[in-house]
Amino acid sequence: MATVDELAPPARILLGPGPSCVHPRVLKAMATPLVGHLDPEFLRLMDETKELLRFVFQTQNSLTLPISGTGSAGMETCLVNLLEPGDEVVVGVNGVFGMRMVDIVERCGGQPVIMEAPWGQVFSPEQIEAALACCRRPKVVALVHAETSTGAWQPLQDIAPIVHRAGALLLVDAVTSLAGCPVEVDAWGIDVCYSGTQKCLSCPPGLAPLTLNQAALEVIRKRKTKVRSWYLDLTMIEQYWGEERVYHHTAPISMNYALREALRLVQEEGLDTRFRRHRRNHLALAAGLTALGLPLAAQEGYRLWTLTSVRIPDGIDDVRVRRQLLEQYNIEIGAGLGPLRGKVWRIGLMGESSTRSNVLLLLSALEEILHTQGYRCPPGAGVAAAHAAYADS
Amino acid sequence: MATVDELAPPARILLGPGPSCVHPRVLKAMATPLVGHLDPEFLRLMDETKELLRFVFQTQNSLTLPISGTGSAGMETCLVNLLEPGDEVVVGVNGVFGMRMVDIVERCGGQPVIMEAPWGQVFSPEQIEAALACCRRPKVVALVHAETSTGAWQPLQDIAPIVHRAGALLLVDAVTSLAGCPVEVDAWGIDVCYSGTQKCLSCPPGLAPLTLNQAALEVIRKRKTKVRSWYLDLTMIEQYWGEERVYHHTAPISMNYALREALRLVQEEGLDTRFRRHRRNHLALAAGLTALGLPLAAQEGYRLWTLTSVRIPDGIDDVRVRRQLLEQYNIEIGAGLGPLRGKVWRIGLMGESSTRSNVLLLLSALEEILHTQGYRCPPGAGVAAAHAAYADS
């Protein structure tokens, strides 16, 4: 076969739904020579990583660790370990990731009870209560905290009591929220929560941090059937990450180096400061987009700081705009998924990507590109509105 | 919580069952800033990686790609996609990884037909024929090419015709063989083959390259039930890695950068040269260990070039020797697994770790450490025998 050139990818500004930009210290960690997955030094690093993950999840849960796969592997791990054939699961479906949960529940042999909301909207406690009332014996209520396909932000503070009264566990997808906005696992009574590394943690994709509390572990301990996945069997993974250190699979050493460094950066910044930064940049972006005449797609009052979806104006060519952003400005933004394909853009401001410079550059670039497609708006309106929002906040 | 120190792991020489040492060019690739998983440039890199993987697997199979998990995820991917409840699978069990396949077959709802050989030995074509004769309607015969737990090397050249006559597919675990000794997927008639990145490819752990031929794809296309895993569903993964480029999960970008670079290094060295290097270093190590009075554990004539298991002499403290190697020489070797725990050491000479310097250093270090535990052997015998073997080869 022909030879393949040396790796030289373009220097992108990653403002899509993930991966986000990665800090040089995390990249340096990725390049660190490896130790073995049972090396005492690696086992020590694993303990530190678990401790740092407990900090970002705001939990004391002993079982808190990264799964050796991307965010969706985290989703599958939680469901495949909790569910046995016939188990009822209420799944909130208001975007792609709720739909994915339904698919996985079925593959686990479970019975999804689909609770729907329009894409871009969220669920009220009353809706969840009503869905539970339709179940015979619900085992899990699964909600997406930050719906990456719409930018909707599901409130979670008042959900756990309702779920627990029905005898079910609360399972939360925090892939696009963890380390970008508050995720308080213990305070909010979340039983099971998972995330991914390539969003607000600003680590390359490849690991899925998750955490389970005692109630969730009890459910797993009482299983009557084997977990349908060997690779994602938490009881075995826990024995490797726990004191037993029993070999299961070969942990992705370099990815774990990177995650630990990304978590150190989160700790150094502090969660509150980090959340404020995400909020501020989101508000400026939202103000700028609105001033450009582009309506935000998610329900007002429930818009994520980490991912903003915005409607594509009539007559504007979705693919061409994104290609121009990529080719002329090296900026990646995300396309719409499913029914929103061609209708929205998804702009991520996550982790290292959430900066004032990125907000202003994107608004300028977008205005210029829309202009070439005949779209009219007051010159400089986006950037001016963003500046005003920064001055206000 | 307390702060966590900057990452500074010790500089290990990795001579265990994997991960192996990683070339600086691969480490550099890991540190390359990321592009998005749907970036045109990343899609181009994916195509190059598939082409390079076809080269190392020696196949024309269109479906040849890395799964986003470690080697065991590759094993699970192959089985979970091929199997439906009730399917019969003949599994060759002569070590840990055959046992693992049995476990996964059961989780997929399949019926394993266990074909056993003593640990360290391999299966003859006659044994496989006999096992197939006991089946009603065998769907798959699963064999481990390179049993990482014993160092046994399963011959595969004459197996496919037997398997195909019985109407079954031949599935091969090449985790510890790919790129270290010949794996000729097309020439040998292998239908399904998977590997890991952290062995003879000398890439960090985190991806599982695999390849399936048309016959295997037909079996998947004709499934009556959904694949039990969403994350490992090949039909969906293929749509992302194929021309459709449909989003499935977020590919681990950096790991894919690294794999591509590791494959470029394999291509530059050439497969035959690489195999000869692995053979030469294995023969020197084997000669040295034998001269030290340490018997090799795998069946003579069927010993891997990539992993050598050696019996621990009576009265020698397994754990203490490995700790001394690690602490005094920064050398990692592997412990025995399962029934071989405390009875053998597993020495990997894979990819970048397979060097003359490593062979000589390990033999010197081992002799010295055994000496401190009262073990007697002619001074310098191991190194001398290795030198002689190099002169011969």
Largest pairwise CA distance in chain B? 65
Q: 0.90 cut: is pTM over it?
A: yes
Q: Please state the length of chain A.
A: 393
pLDDT in tens, A62-83: 999 999 999 999 999 999 999 9
Helix axes of A356-372 and A381-392: crossing angle, nearest 10 degrees? 160
Cβ A253–B204 below 8 Å, yes or no?
A: yes
Q: How far is A382 from chain B (nearest CA, A)?
A: 25
- Residue B104 touches chain A, beta carbons under 8 Å: yes
Q: How far is B287 from chain A (nearest CA, A)?
A: 26
Cβ A32–B9 below 8 Å, yes or no?
A: yes
User: How far is it, in rounded angstroms, from Cα B235 to Cα A87?
Assistant: 26
Q: Which of B25, B231, B269 to mutate to test the interface with A (most CBs of A within 10 A)?
A: B231
Cβ A11–B33 below 8 Å, yes or no?
A: yes
Task: List chain A residues with CB under 8 Å of B268.
Answer: 3
- Is residue A1's pLDDT more than 80? no
- Residue A289 touches chain B, beta carbons under 8 Å: no
pLDDT in tens, A250-277: 999 999 999 999 999 999 999 999 999 9
- Residue A319 touches chain B, beta carbons under 8 Å: no
Closest B-chain CA to A35: B12
Closest A-chain CA to B336: A247
Which residue in the set A12, A38, A108 is minimally distant from B39, CB to CB? Answer: A12
Q: Which of B1, B4, B81, B244 to mutate to test the interface with A (most CBs of A within 10 A)?
A: B4
Q: Containing H/E element for A389?
A: helix A381-392
pLDDT in tens, B187-213: 999 999 999 999 999 999 999 999 999
pLDDT in tens, A135-171: 999 999 999 999 999 999 999 999 999 999 999 999 9
Task: List chain A residues with CB under 8 Å of B249.
Answer: 70-73
User: How far is it, in rounded angstroms, from Cα B167 to Cα A49?
Assistant: 48
- Residues near A272 by beta carbon (within 8 Å), at least 6 away in sequence: none
Residue B26 φ then ψ, to 5° = -75, -40
Which residues of B, range 52-71, sit inside 8 Å of A by Cβ? 52, 54-55, 68-71
Largest pairwise CA distance in chain A? 65
Q: Mean of the per-residue pLDDT values for chain B? A: 97
pLDDT-based confidence at residue A2 (cuts at 50, 70, 90): confident
Please write down the HEC assignment for all residues of B317-378.
Answer: CHHHHHHHHHHHHCEECEECCHHHCCCEEEEECCHHHCCHHHHHHHHHHHHHHHHHCCCCCC
Task: List chain A residues with CB under 8 Å of B240.
Answer: none
Task: List chain A residues with CB under 8 Å of B250.
Answer: 18-19, 70-72, 196, 198, 205
Closest B-chain CA to A229: B107
Joined together, the tokens standing for residue B167 give: 């109407």
- Residue B107 touches chain A, beta carbons under 8 Å: yes
Find the radius of gyration of the CA atoms of chain A: 21
Q: Please state the length of chain B.
A: 393
Q: What pLDDT sits at residue A152?
A: 98
Spell out a b/e string for B194-229, using b for 16 or more CB atoms within 10 Å of the CB, else e: bbbbbbbbbbbbbbbbbbbbeebbebbeeeeeebbb
Task: List chain A residues with CB under 8 Å of B52.
Answer: 1, 4
Q: What pLDDT sits at residue B3?
A: 86
Task: List chain B residues with CB under 8 Å of A100.
Answer: 230
Residue A43 φ then ψ, to 5° = -60, -35
For residue B266, give the 3-state DSSP assignment: helix
CB of A23 within 8 A of CB of A265?
Answer: yes
Joined together, the tokens standing for residue B271 give: 């497969």
* Range B330-335, long-range pairs (CB < 8 A, 24+ positions): B330/B10, B330/B11, B330/B12, B330/B13, B331/B12, B331/B13, B331/B15, B331/B361, B331/B362, B331/B365, B332/A35, B332/A36, B332/A39, B332/B12, B332/B13, B332/B14, B332/B15, B332/B16, B333/B15, B333/B16, B333/B362, B334/B16, B334/B17, B335/A38
For A269-338, the DSSP string reads: H-HHHHHHHHHHHHHHHHHHHHHTT--B-SPTT-B-SSEEEEEPPTT--HHHHHHHHHHHH-EE-EEP-G
Joined together, the tokens standing for residue B291 give: 């001269």
Average pLDDT over residues A286-305: 97
Which residues of B, range 169-208, sit inside 8 Å of A by Cβ? 196, 198, 204-206
Tell me, what's the ipTM? 0.98
> Closest Cα partner for A151 from A287, A377, A351, A340?
A340
CB of B253 within 8 A of CB of B194?
Answer: no
pLDDT-based confidence at residue A111 (cuts at 50, 70, 90): very high
Q: Which of B3, B6, B7 to mutate to test the interface with A (most CBs of A within 10 A)?
A: B7
- Residue B329 touches chain A, beta carbons under 8 Å: no
Q: What pLDDT sits at residue A337?
A: 95
User: How far is it, in rounded angstroms, from Cα A285 to Cα A289?
Assistant: 6
User: How far is it, in rounded angstroms, from Cα A173 to Cα A147?
Assistant: 9
For residue A265, give the 3-state DSSP assignment: helix
Q: What pLDDT sits at residue B1?
A: 76
Alpha-carbon distances of B195 from B49, B76, B78, B121, B126, rounded to whole Å: 14, 11, 11, 21, 26
For residue B160, give the 3-state DSSP assignment: helix
Which residues of A, range 152-171, sit inside 8 Å of B by Cβ? none
Cβ B205–A108 below 8 Å, yes or no?
A: no
Helix axes of A234-241 and A71-82: crossing angle, nearest 10 degrees? 110
Cβ A48–B228 below 8 Å, yes or no?
A: no
Q: How far is B28 from chain A (nearest CA, A)?
A: 6
Cβ B1–A264 below 8 Å, yes or no?
A: no
Q: How many CB contacts within 8 angstroms connect chain A with chain B?
A: 253
Which residues of A, range 119-158, sit inside 8 Å of B by Cβ? none
> Closest Cα partner for B298 from B263, B239, B344, B334?
B344
pLDDT in tens, chain B (393 residues): 788 999 999 999 999 999 999 999 999 999 999 999 999 999 999 999 999 999 999 999 999 999 999 999 999 999 999 999 999 999 999 999 999 999 999 999 999 999 999 999 999 999 999 999 999 999 999 999 999 999 999 999 999 999 999 999 999 999 999 999 999 999 999 999 999 999 999 999 999 999 999 999 999 999 999 999 999 999 999 999 999 999 999 999 999 999 999 999 999 999 999 999 999 999 999 999 999 999 999 999 999 999 999 999 999 999 999 999 999 999 999 999 999 999 999 999 999 999 999 999 999 999 999 999 999 999 999 999 999 999 998
- Residue A223 touches chain B, beta carbons under 8 Å: no
- Is residue A331's pLDDT more than 80? yes
Q: What pLDDT sits at residue A393?
A: 84
Domains of chain A: 24-267 (3.40.640.10), 271-392 (3.90.1150.10)
Neighbours of B2 (CB within 10 A): 7
Q: What pLDDT sits at residue B215?
A: 98
Task: List chain B residues with CB under 8 Å of A198.
Answer: 250
Q: Mean of the per-residue pLDDT values for chain A? A: 97
User: How far is it, in rounded angstroms, from Cα B191 to Cα B172?
Assistant: 8
> Closest Cα partner for B230 from A60, A93, A80?
A80
